[in-house]
Structure 1
Amino acid sequence: MSESLEIATEHRRVRVWFGAHPIADHTAAADQAAQYEEAMRRRFASLRVTNEPVPAATTLETAR
């Protein structure tokens, strides 16, 4: 079994919102998510951009 667990890496979920509807949804490691968030804030200056932690259980399930 060659399953790798990312225990020390925190994952973040970045979303761009048009009103109540997300138009972009991206999950990545914290440093990459911060770069993505910055890029989305520049590109969509008038829209809301959120950057939230992803629970560890969700991260492990999506990695499979």
Structure 2
Amino acid sequence: MTESFETTAPHRRVRVWFGAHPIADHTTAADQAAQYEEAMRRRFASLRVTSEPVLVTAMSAPEMSR
């Protein structure tokens, strides 16, 4: 039996949205993501800016050895 689960990585995904369409998509380390998010909020003041943790799937030990 193999198990997998999701954990958050020390990275974040920052996106700038024009309606339902992302016009900028950037993934980086958490500290740099905060700076990028702040810059995008200034640059695109009227658009929605989101910052989400990046999810990674971790596999159990038997799968990783394949």
Tell me the TM-score normalized by structure 1: 0.73
Other structure's SS at 2:49 match = strand
What root-mean-square deviation, in Å, do the aligned CA atoms of Structure 1 and Structure 2 show?
1.0
More contact order relative to length (CA 8 Å, sep ≥ 6)? 2
The residue identity in structure 2 corresponding to 1:45 is A
> How far, CA to CA, are the matches of 1:55 and 1:10 in structure 2?
9
Partner of 1:31: 31
Other structure's SS at 1:40 match = helix
Tell me the TM-score normalized by structure 2: 0.71
Partner of 1:42: 42
Structure 1 moving runs of 4+ over 6 Å: none
1:28-62 superposed Cα distances (whole Å, 9 cap, x missing partner): 000000000000000000000000000123xxxxx
Name structure 2 gaps, 5 residues minimum: 1-8, 58-66
Taking only the aligned residue pairs, the percentage that are identical comes to 86
Name structure 1 gaps, 5 residues minimum: 1-8, 58-64
More helix by share: 1
> How far, CA to CA, are the matches of 1:40 and 1:54 in structure 2?
19
Partner of 1:6: none
Residues paired across the two proteins, number: 49
